[in-house]
Amino acid sequence: MERLQKFLSECGVASRRRSEELILSGKVTVNGVVVKTLGTKVSDNDLVSVNGKVVKRDIKEYYLLYKPRGVISSVKDEKNRKTVVDLVHTSSRIYPIGRLDYDTTGIILLTNDGELSNLLMHPKSNVSKEYIAKVKGFFSKDDALLLSKGVLLNGKKTKPALFKLKKYDKKSDTSYVKVVISEGRNHQVKDMFSFLGYNVLKLKREKYAFLDLSGLKSGEYRKLSLKEVRQLYSLK
């Protein structure tokens, strides 16, 4: 048994807050009876309808996708560009957890589990994300230390992170830098490099928490195991 508004949210009807509004406005019925009381509990055996249409809980699905360059991290795109959802073959209404920029490659998770998505994207979440960045110029130890301690972006200091030079190509004057952050601000990695004048030529997310891209090629995906899903739920 669970609260009606949570059930509606998990069925993909609306957010919990919007679901509460639907209940209070008398648009939700349970077993044919209008319910206007928040906190009413239901189970999968109850017949729940919104505006006369029966709603059912989606079977939870979890995917790990190796996002290619030139793909949008959203469900739909107004410019009709290919999205991460287009790459995963399922009839369920899935959506990405967080996002990667259009030109950024690497690991991204997709699901229809709103609870897990909210948990992983919550501002207080400390889920680690590991990247390899290719930047123009030589990336110095002093700059690595400065960025690792945190810098001020849009009036807010970034959390402690890891920036470490992996390789410097003298011929092309480019550095390959390992980056590990625990935040999810838009364009954060690029903005941190830009703060010190570095231009990011390529960016790839290689790890998300304990998950990596092992066995996958660009554009490929796999389902997460039950064990992996449980591990994601245990992250703080």
* Cβ atoms within 10 Å, residue 21: 12
The 3-class SS string of 15-34 reads CHHHHHHHHHCCCEEECCEE
Residue 32 corresponds to which tokens in the numbers above?
A: 């044919």
Active-site residue identified among 77, 101, 191, 212? 101
- Is-catalytic flag, 103? no
* Cβ atoms within 10 Å, residue 32: 7
Q: Which residue from 51, 63, 2 is spatially nearest to 27, judged by alpha carbons?
A: 51
- For 158, residues 6+ apart whose C-beta sits below 8 A from its C-beta are 150, 151, 152, 181, 183, 185, 188, 192
Report the C-alpha gap between 217 and 106 in whole angstroms. 10
Residue 206 corresponds to which tokens in the numbers above?
A: 């290689």
Q: Are the beta carbons of 190 and 163 closer than 8 angstroms?
A: no
Counting other chains too, the contacts that 18-26 makes at CB distance below 8 Å and 24 or more residues apart are: 22/50
* Helices assigned H by DSSP within 30-100: none
Residue 195 corresponds to which tokens in the numbers above?
A: 């703060």
* Pairing, β 28-30 against β 48-50: antiparallel
Q: Which residue from 182, 191, 215, 26 is spatially nearest to 98, judged by alpha carbons?
A: 182
Residues catalogued as catalytic? 101
